[in-house]
A and B are shown apart, each in its own frame.
Chain A
Amino acid sequence: MKREWFALGIVALLVIVFPASLFGYQAWRTNSSDARVIDVIASSPENGGWSPDEIRVNVGEHVRLRIAAPDVVHGFEIPALDVRVDEILPGHVQEVEFVATRAGRFPFACTRWCSVNHWRMRGVIWVSDPAQPALPAPTFAPPLYQQLRIDIDAMHPAQNIPPRKPSAARGAQLNLRVDADFRTQSPDAVFAKLRADAAYDAYDDQQLWDAIAFAYFQNVGAENIANGARRYARDCAACHGERGDGQGPAGKDLPGLTTMHPDMPRGPANFTDASAMLGASDALLQGKILRGGMGTGMPEWGSLYTDADLWSVVAFLRTFTFDDPPAP
């Protein structure tokens, strides 16, 4: 009789106490904090993408996102609110807490390469202010390439190609001052201006290029290049390649390649191509990143990147044509 009660006790433990404590613990965790819990499922775009892909919260509200990935590794980022989770592994629930401090409509996106359609995996978070129901009007200035009326779909080959790859280290030793606005002028245009200037006649072409490389890197700063490098590795290298040669594994079979204009080089841009890179101003490169498209299916980064991020990626792209960037 005693043993029977003992057995019954074990059964009760398994059937009632164990599940009750599990669910009770979850309920206690949810209710004991003032955070609003939102469950988010991250699946590859072909399996439905973010679910939900629209999140609505209030300003000042304490929000806890519980993110699960049932298929492959994903990442999560709301760039505007500085919320990010680098790795959501299948089988683990990742939690992230934040308090939205400003109202608006902000995109969020996956940050890990989860499928060929990875870049389509985006969603929107609406942050509304109960005291002020209307969203603030977006402050919008047209990007620099539009202000300058640059046609970012045309080729802009450089007229002058350096004999060797320009090196900032060699340029540093020249002690040559180069005053130029690199955002609006291509390195090629800067070179042409210096070459035409009699004050630089003492220097040969290679020396002028080295000086331009040095001046460019001095101008953008090591920190920007490092930030650009991180973003390039995360968001660009899959198609454009780790070495910037346009040979990334994900860029070989893009949907738009067959319909690309025959005059344009096919596939992801090759950043080691001196003619294309030196003929392009920073504003042009920024416009391309910001808008995307190009007939290849390149995503637009304007909605996910801040202006500073875009410029820092451009700064990093220059390291494929200019040697010896400054170390951070």
Chain B
Amino acid sequence: MTKAALSYRHTHRFGIAASAVLLMLAAILVPLPAQAYTPRAHTLQINARAFAFEPGSLSVRRGDTVTLVLEATDTVHGLYVDGYDVNLVAEPGKSATATFVADKEGKFKFRCSVACGALHPFMIGELNVEPNLPFVRALLLTLVGGIGALAFFWK
């Protein structure tokens, strides 16, 4: 292999690495086009029993005002949402209500906050605040990184 070929290959690889890093930065930082959307108010009824939430998955859009109504059917259950300041405790005949604005997008787990039996740690549901930009960005990041790595190590 000649020196010139080596040097060419070197710069070539540098170019690939640099453009991949730039694209990855772009995937993290570039503001995605905001769609025109008027936030709505939701009242979501959640039924808690051993050891599940029904429905176990909620979907709202960013900016929506969410009112959670937690109803327990067998014993004392709680609900707290990771990432939001919401903590409810309900028992049969005493439902609990909390209202908050879903201002952070992404997927958030909600869990039972009161020990309710053997499988209590597995009593989990999820709140999906769309558009799930962190997910889109992470997907782009992985794709660009993967393709970049592939191009970088090709041959």
Contacts and interface: CB of A to CB of B under 8 A. Distances in A.
A250 B115 contact: no
Interface in A95-115: 112-115
Interface stretch (A2-10, A52-60, A233-241, A302-310): A233-241
B76 interface: yes
Interface string B9-43: 00000000000000000000000000000000000
A278 B74 CA distance: 32
Given A114-B76, A116-B74, A250-B74, A238 B92 contact: yes
A90 interface: yes
Interface of B: 47, 71-76, 91-95, 114-118
5 contacts: A73-B75, A89-B114, A114-B76, A237-B94, A250-B93
A91 interface: yes
Contacts of A241: 93
A118 B91 CA distance: 12
Contact of A250 (B92, B95, B116, B117): B92
Interface string A40-69: 000010000000000000000000000000
A248 interface: yes
Contacts of A118: 75
Contacts of A114: 75-76
B74 A248 contact: no
Given A249-B71, A249-B72, A90 B115 contact: yes
A38 B71 CA distance: 35
Contact of A113 (B92, B117, B118): B92
A242 B115 contact: no
A249 B92 contact: yes
B35 to A, nearest CB: 39
Contacts, number: 64
B52 to A, nearest CB: 14
Interface in A230-278: 233, 236-242, 248-250
Contacts of B114: 72-73, 89
A174 B114 CA distance: 50
B143 to A, nearest CB: 45
Contacts of B71: 249
Contact of A239 (B72, B91, B93): B93
Contact of A72 (B47, B95, B115): B115
Nearest to B93: A237
Contact of B93 (A89, A90, A91, A233): A233
Among all A-B residue pairs, the 10 with the closest Cβ atoms = A237-B93, A238-B92, A238-B93, A90-B115, A249-B73, A73-B76, A250-B92, A113-B92, A113-B91, A72-B75
A71 interface: yes
A242 B70 CA distance: 13
A145 B73 CA distance: 33
A166 to B, nearest CB: 26
A242 B47 CA distance: 15
A233 B93 CA distance: 7
A112 B91 contact: yes
B117 A242 contact: no
B72 A115 contact: no
A71 B76 CA distance: 11
